[in-house]
Structure 1
C-alpha cells in the first residue's frame, strides 16, 4: 500500500473553499428567515390595527354625520366606552395610523368620478393607512366610502289630511274610493269647460261699419273676423280676448284692415290671411305684430293674386306654403317670405265645384264642396290630384268641414234638406282613395248649418240658421247635449279651450249691432287640462324627527295612476327653511326647467334621486326643509291622472 503525502491537505483546502462559498448564503437564509417571520408578524399586527381603525371610523360616523364629515387626517382614540377621531396621525408600538377623510365627486349620471365634478355632500372617501419601519418600511391600507346611512328615515304622504294641506292650482285632493282616510291628488274641475251647458257671455262686439260678418278664425287670446257678405264692412278685424281667472272674458278690437270683401280668414300668431274679392290681390297677408299699422289700420305685408276676374273663396297656410281656392280651382303659393307678391307653386287642381272650406293636414288638402254630387273632396298635394271624395246621396251641398289633426276623421256639415241628416262623421284611412263612406250621421232638426267645429271631450258644435242655431253634439252617441237659440242666425264658429281649461266658442251672428259674440261652457263637466300641486313643508326639526340640523335628502318615490294621454311630473325643493323654495329637476344643464317624469301607463312608480346641489339660489341639499311640486296634465279632460302617495327618504 502506498501513502501519498499532501492528499489530506488538498481535501482540507477543498472543504474550506466550499465553506467560504456556501456559508454567506446559508447565513443570509438564516437571517432572512428570521426577519421574514418578524415582518409577517408586523403585517399581521398592522392588519389588526387597520380593522380596528375601520371599525372606529364606522362607529364614529354612526354617532352623527355632522362631526364625522370633516375633511382631514385623523387617528382613532378611545374616549370612555366609545371611539372618537382625533386630528392628525398617531404612532404607537412602532405603528403609525393615518385616517384621511376626503370629498367624493360625482358626474352627471351620479357615478363617482374624479374632480372636477359635483361634490356629494352625503358621501365621504376614507383612506386608512397603517405603516411601520421595522424590520422594513411597509404599510397596509384600505379605501371605503361612508354615507349618511344612519336610520335611512322615510316620510310618506298618502292620507287626505296630509295632501290637503298642500297648495293646489287647478288640482284637487279627493278621498280614494273605498277609504275613509286615504287620499289622492288629481286634476281639479276645468272651470267653464262643459260644452254641453253653453251660456251666451255678456261679451259682444259691434264690428266697424255696416258689413255682414261671415268668417272667424281663432287661437287662444285672439280672433280674426272677416266681413264678406257685403262690401259695407271692414275687410278684417283683429279681436284680442282677455281671459281673467274670474268673470267673463273681455274682447276689444286691436286693429282692422279695409278695402275688400273678405270671404274667408285664416290666422296664425303673427299673421292673418284674407281670402278677398280683389282680382289682383286674391289673398292679403297682414302682419299683426306691433308697429305694422298704417294710418290707423293694419298694413299689407304681402299678397297672392291670379289677376283677371279671379277672387279667393277660401284660404289656408301651413309652414312655407299658402293655399287658396278660386271657383273650382285649388292653388298653392310660396310663403318662404310673407312680403310682396308671392308666386304660385306648381299647377292648379280642378275640383268638382267651388269650395266652401279648405283645411290642410300633412300631405292632403280637405275641402267642403258646394255640390250635392260630392260634398267633400281630398287632394293629394304631392301628385296634385283629387284622390278621394265624400258623396252622400240625398244630402245637401257641402258647407263646412273639420279634420282631426292626425287626418283620421273628417267631420262634414251640409246644407239643410228636409228629412235628411246634415252632419256626418267620415273615418279616413292613411291613404284615402275613392268614395269615403260616413260612419255616423246626425240631423240638425230644422237648422240650416253654416259652420262646424270639433272640440275637446269628444264634442262637435254645429251653427247655422233656424231651429236651434247653436247645437252641441256628443260624438260618443251622436245625440245633442246642448243648444242655444240665437234668432239672428250664426254664420261661423271657432272654438278654443284656454289654459285654465275653460271652453269658449266665438261666433259671428246676423245681429247688426253685436255681430261677434262669445259662448262660454258651463261649470265643471271635466277636469282641468293641467294643474300643479305643491306639498306642505317637511321640517325635520319638527316632530316626530327632531333633527335640528341639515340632513341629506336622497330619494323621492311616488305611486301614481297614469292613463294614456296624461302625464305626471315632479320637481323637488330643499332649503334651510328660510325664504321661498326653488324647485329643480334632474337635468344638470337645466335644473329649473327639467322634471322627473313618470313613464308607462296605468299604475306606475316614479323614482327620483334628489340632486345634491348647492349652487342654485333657494335650493340647498343637504338641508332641513323639503317640498315637492307635482305637475299633472291630460289631453282628454274627461280623464285625470292620480297621485296615490309620495315618499321621501333622507339620512341624518
Structure 2
C-alpha cells in the first residue's frame, strides 16, 4: 500500500506539468487570434485608405507636372495641397487621418543607350523620379510605396543625323563628309602643304632693294624683313599676307636709313638691331606713317646701349628679341636689357649689361623664355668663345643670382672643329630644348639639339663627338650647306627647317632642308629645296586656322621673299571643324542629351558644342547661334560620347528652344588616322 501511494502522487505531478506545457502553447495562439480578430478590421481599413491616398498622389503628380514642369522638377520632399481649382506641391510630409503621406522627387540618370540606371550614367534633365509613401502606426507600423517616373511631357524623342545626305547639309572646315560606312564626318585629306614635301609654287615678293635681305621675322598675317645694308635707303619692309588659299602678299609699308643686322616683329611694332652707335635698337610704329603718301613708317622710340657707367658703346647691335615688355639686344659680347613698358622715345636700360663671350665675339641669335617664374636668355655665340650656347638668368636685376650667366655648353670640346660658331637658336616653350645651327665644317655637324632642362648644366642630346672619328655623337650633318638660320616649325610633328648657302668649296647642296627631329640624337632630312641664290633667313607661322607657312629671304633679285606652305606629313590635316545644318524642331522643346557614335583611333580627339535658340517670327532663318558646352558656357565641350544638355536662358543660349545646331572639333596628332563622326542624336522632350 505504501508503494502504491507514492506511485499515484508522482503520476499526478506529471499530469500537472503536461497541462502547463499545453497551456503555454495554446494560450499565446488564443490571445494572438483574439487580438487579431479585434485589430484585423482597422488594419484593413487603414490599408484601403492608404492605397487611395497613394493613387491620388500619383494623379496629383501628373497634374502638377502637366501644368508647370519647371516648378515641379525641383528635388525635395513634398505633399499635395489645393489652391483654388488646382493641385500644388508643398514642402514636407502631411498627415491625413493618422496616415503620413510623402512625395520625394529626385534625379534620373541614363546610360549610353538611354536606359535608366541606379548609379553612374548621365543626368536626364527631362525626367524625374517620384517616390510616394503612405505610412501609419496603428494598429501596426506599416507602409505602402509607389515609384513614378515622370517626363517633361508625354515622352522623350530623338532627332538623329547619320547619313551622308544629312551630314552634307552642314558646313565643313578642314573636314569632309564621306560615305565609307553609310555616312560619316572626317578630317579633310591633306592636299595642302607638307613639311617634308616643300615647293615654291605659292608666291614670292620682289623687294625694291639691290642687296641681299638681312633678316626676317613674322606674325600671323605679316612678314617683317630687315634689308638695311647701308645707312641710307630701305631698312625694313612690312609685307601683308592674306589668310586665303593660296595666300596673297603685298608690301604695305617701309622704313629707311638704318643699317640693320636683325629684326623682331609684333602685331603693332617692329624692332631693328642696327649699327647706329646711339640707337642700337630702333622701334617702328606699324600703325603710324611719318610719310603716308609713300607709306613710310614713323620711328617710335629707340635704345642706346651703354656701359654700366653710362658711356655709349660703339659696338653694332647684332640680335634683338622682345618678351613681356622687355627688349633684349646683343652688341658685341654683351647682352643688354631695356624697358618697353612704353615704346616712345629713349628706352631705359634694365640692370647691368651681361658679358657672355670673349671680346670680339658676338651673338648669332638670342631667344628668351619664361620657365617656372624665371626668365632666361639663350644666346648662340659666334667667335673664339669655346661655348656655342650660354644661358643667362635675366629675372631680377636687383638679385645678382638672377642676373647672370648660369649655364653654358661647348658642343665640340674634342677639337673636331675650329669654327666655334652658334649661328641661330630656337627654344621650346618649356625651356627644356634648344635647337642650334652652326657654321659648316666638313669634319663636323651643323645642327644640334641641347637638353636645357638643367639650365646650369645643358647637355648635347646624343652625346659629344669623339676625335676620331668626329662623325659620332648627337647632331645633323647638312652636307655642303653653310647654315644661316634654323627654326623649329612644329614641335608636335618634330619638324625643323635649316636654311643657308653653299659652303665655300663645298658640294652643291639643298639650301632649304627640312629635318625630322623625332630622334633628337640623330635628326634626319625628310625633304628639301635647291635654291641656288641662297637662303639667308627663315621665319615660320602657324595660323589660327591650322595653315602653316615658312617665309624665307633669298638672294633671288626678282623675288627675295618667298612663301612655302608646310603642314603635317600624313594623310589628314591636323584639325578641322564641322557645323551641322540648322535643325528646326517646329516649336520650343527641351533638349536633354547629346548622344553620339564615333570612331576615335589613338592620337585623335573629338568634342562637341551645341547652340539652341528661339525662332524669329516663326522661323529659324537669321537667328544667331552661340555655341556652348555641358555647363552652358563657351569654355567647355561635350566629350566624343556626348552628355547631358543644361537648361539655361542666358548669354544668347537657351534651353528649351526651337532652333539648334551642333559643332564638332576633330583633331589628330597621328596624321595617318582621323576621328570619325558616325551618328549624332539629340534627345529632347516636346
Q: TM-score under structure 1 normalisation?
A: 0.72
User: Is contact 2:283–2:302 with CA below 8 Å preserved after alignment?
Assistant: yes
Question: Could you say what secondary structure the match of 1:344 adopts?
Answer: coil
Q: Kindly report which structure 2 residues correspond to 1:94-113, keeping only aligned pairs within 5 A, or say none.
A: 98-100=86-88
Distance 1:384 1:294, change over 3 A: farther
Residues 1:367 and 2:382 are matched in the alignment: no
Cα displacement (A) at 1:56:
3.3
Residue of structure 2 aligned with 1:445, choices 474, 479, 486:
479
User: Is contact 1:198–1:522 with CA below 8 Å preserved after alignment?
Assistant: no
Task: Indicate the residue corresponding to 1:389 in structure 2.
Answer: 409
Task: Indicate the residue corresponding to 2:365 in structure 1.
Answer: 357
Cα displacement (A) at 1:612:
3.3
User: Is contact 1:303–1:340 with CA below 8 Å preserved after alignment?
Assistant: yes
Question: Could you say what secondary structure the match of 1:487 adopts?
Answer: coil
String of CA shifts for 1:80-109, please: whole Å, max 9, x gaps: xxxxxxx9867xxxxxxx52389xxx9xxx
Question: Could you say what secondary structure the match of 2:197 adopts?
Answer: strand
Tell me, in whole angstroms, the C-alpha distance in 2 between the residues paired with 1:570 and 1:375: 49
Tell me, in whole angstroms, the C-alpha distance in 1 between the residues paired with 2:319 and 2:571: 35
User: Is contact 2:609–2:629 with CA below 8 Å preserved after alignment?
Assistant: no
Cα displacement (A) at 1:558:
3.8
Residues 1:425 and 2:449 are matched in the alignment: yes
Cα displacement (A) at 1:154:
4.2
User: Is contact 1:569–1:632 with CA below 8 Å preserved after alignment?
Assistant: no
Residues 1:649 and 2:652 are matched in the alignment: no
User: Is contact 2:269–2:286 with CA below 8 Å preserved after alignment?
Assistant: yes
String of CA shifts for 1:414-462, please: whole Å, max 9, x gaps: 1111242211222222434266455532221211111111112211111
User: Is contact 1:330–1:349 with CA below 8 Å preserved after alignment?
Assistant: yes
Cα displacement (A) at 1:608:
3.2
Task: Indicate the residue corresponding to 1:570 in structure 2.
Answer: 609
Task: Indicate the residue corresponding to 1:34 in structure 2.
Answer: none
User: Mean Cα displacement is larger for which, 632-641 or 256-265?
Assistant: 632-641
Cα displacement (A) at 1:257:
1.4
Task: Indicate the residue corresponding to 2:636 in structure 1.
Answer: 595
Task: Indicate the residue corresponding to 1:473 in structure 2.
Answer: 515
Question: Could you say what secondary structure the match of 1:388 adopts?
Answer: strand
Structure 2, unmatched stretches of 5+, are 1-41, 73-81, 91-104, 110-123, 133-145, 306-311, 395-401, 464-473, 503-508
Residues 1:195 and 2:184 are matched in the alignment: no
Residue of structure 1 aligned with 2:56, choices 42, 53, 75:
53
CA RMSD of aligned residues (A): 4.3
Tell me, in whole angstroms, the C-alpha distance in 2 between the residues paired with 1:289 and 1:281: 21
Distance 1:207 1:524, change over 3 A: same
Q: Kindly report which structure 2 residues correspond to 1:164-183, keeping only aligned pairs within 5 A, or say none.
A: 165-173=169-177, 181=181
Residues 1:490 and 2:535 are matched in the alignment: yes
String of CA shifts for 1:125-157, please: whole Å, max 9, x gaps: 99x9xxxxxxxxxxxxx9999532644334555
Distance 1:331 1:537, change over 3 A: closer
Question: Could you say what secondary structure the match of 1:313 adopts?
Answer: strand
Residue of structure 2 aligned with 1:379, choices 370, 381, 392:
392
Task: Indicate the residue corresponding to 1:238 in structure 2.
Answer: 238
Q: Kindly report which structure 2 residues correspond to 1:139-218, keeping only aligned pairs within 5 A, or say none.
A: 146-148=150-152, 150-157=154-161, 163=167, 165-173=169-177, 181=181, 185-218=185-218
Task: Indicate the residue corresponding to 2:645 in structure 1.
Answer: 610
Cα displacement (A) at 1:46:
7.1
Distance 1:226 1:432, change over 3 A: same
Task: Indicate the residue corresponding to 1:511 in structure 2.
Answer: 556
User: Is contact 2:391–2:406 with CA below 8 Å preserved after alignment?
Assistant: yes
Cα displacement (A) at 1:520:
2.5
Question: Could you say what secondary structure the match of 2:566 adopts?
Answer: strand
Cα displacement (A) at 1:330:
1.0
Residue of structure 1 aligned with 2:497, choices 452, 461, 473:
461
User: Mean Cα displacement is larger for which, 308-317 or 389-398?
Assistant: 389-398
Task: Indicate the residue corresponding to 1:23 in structure 2.
Answer: none
User: Is contact 1:159–1:181 with CA below 8 Å preserved after alignment?
Assistant: no
Question: Could you say what secondary structure the match of 2:435 adopts?
Answer: strand
Distance 1:166 1:356, change over 3 A: same
User: Is contact 1:225–1:238 with CA below 8 Å preserved after alignment?
Assistant: yes
User: Is contact 2:232–2:258 with CA below 8 Å preserved after alignment?
Assistant: no
User: Is contact 1:488–1:509 with CA below 8 Å preserved after alignment?
Assistant: yes
Cα displacement (A) at 1:406:
1.5
Cα displacement (A) at 1:499:
3.3
Task: Indicate the residue corresponding to 1:584 in structure 2.
Answer: 627
User: Mean Cα displacement is larger for which, 440-449 or 256-265?
Assistant: 440-449
Distance 1:205 1:165, change over 3 A: closer
Cα displacement (A) at 1:597:
4.1
Task: Indicate the residue corresponding to 2:323 in structure 1.
Answer: 318
Tell me, in whole angstroms, the C-alpha distance in 1 between the residues paired with 2:683 and 2:208: 64
Distance 1:257 1:402, change over 3 A: same
Question: Could you say what secondary structure the match of 1:650 adopts?
Answer: strand
User: Is contact 2:625–2:661 with CA below 8 Å preserved after alignment?
Assistant: no
Structure 1, unmatched stretches of 5+, are 1-38, 74-86, 91-97, 111-119, 129-141, 541-547, 599-604
Task: Indicate the residue corresponding to 1:255 in structure 2.
Answer: 253
Tell me, in whole angstroms, the C-alpha distance in 1 between the residues paired with 2:459 and 2:147: 77
User: Is contact 2:584–2:620 with CA below 8 Å preserved after alignment?
Assistant: no
Q: TM-score under structure 2 normalisation?
A: 0.69
Cα displacement (A) at 1:649:
2.0
Distance 1:99 1:43, change over 3 A: farther
Cα displacement (A) at 1:301:
1.2
User: Is contact 2:232–2:256 with CA below 8 Å preserved after alignment?
Assistant: no
Question: Could you say what secondary structure the match of 1:431 adopts?
Answer: coil
Question: Could you say what secondary structure the match of 1:442 adopts?
Answer: coil
Tell me, in whole angstroms, the C-alpha distance in 2 between the residues paired with 1:226 and 1:475: 29
Task: Indicate the residue corresponding to 2:333 in structure 1.
Answer: 328
Distance 1:71 1:269, change over 3 A: closer
Residues 1:341 and 2:316 are matched in the alignment: no
String of CA shifts for 1:468-511, please: whole Å, max 9, x gaps: 11111122253322211111111101122223433321111112
Question: Could you say what secondary structure the match of 1:441 adopts?
Answer: coil
User: Is contact 1:234–1:259 with CA below 8 Å preserved after alignment?
Assistant: yes
User: Mean Cα displacement is larger for which, 213-222 or 631-640?
Assistant: 631-640
Tell me, in whole angstroms, the C-alpha distance in 2 between the residues paired with 1:216 and 1:418: 28
